Amino acid sequence: MKYILILFLILYTCLISGQTTDSTMQKNKNTIKNEEEWKSSLTPEQYEVMRNCGTEPPYTGRYYKHNEKGTYHCAACGAVLFSSDTKYDSGSGWPSFYKAIDQKAIIKLPDDRYGMHRIEIKCAACGSHLGHVFPDGPQPTGLRYCVNSVSLRFTGGQKQAGDD
């Protein structure tokens, strides 16, 4: 019983600190990197946000007012994350989506930094910080995935109705 409690505490500590286990992350040799490799493969801003859980200033990100049809991928590893079909303007200043393409592509972790309780979202393939998810989004999910633009890479190219 004592060993089960110790194992539970170790797993809980990993979750709280924002780390993931190999069983949680999808296996991909391109995403297993040390910090020096991440620094060399990401821009300084991407590294700060995606590896240090930073955030970009609101209303400044490349994809905040982006309205093309396509798919949003993790900027660090290329994993498919969100569709433009679920993107909406939440007024928050960051790209917002009400649903991930595949719920297994996103890891959700408690984040109690800065004196508030939030749910952090990370890429399941590489463990990179994407942003947070909040329960104040539109239906059908009621969720708002609030994502840093620097954490995303877009593929597509067809303009949606109403674009300038």
Give the residue numbers marked as catalytic.
146
* Look-up of token digits 């170790």: 10
**Alpha helices for 17-71 (secondary structure H):** 35-41, 44-52
CA distance 86 to 64: 14
β-partners of residue 152 are 74
Q: What is the CA radius of gyration of the chain?
A: 16
Rounded to 10 degrees, the C-alpha dihedral 4/106/146/95 comes to 170
Amino acid identity at 44: P
| 3-state SS class at 123 | strand
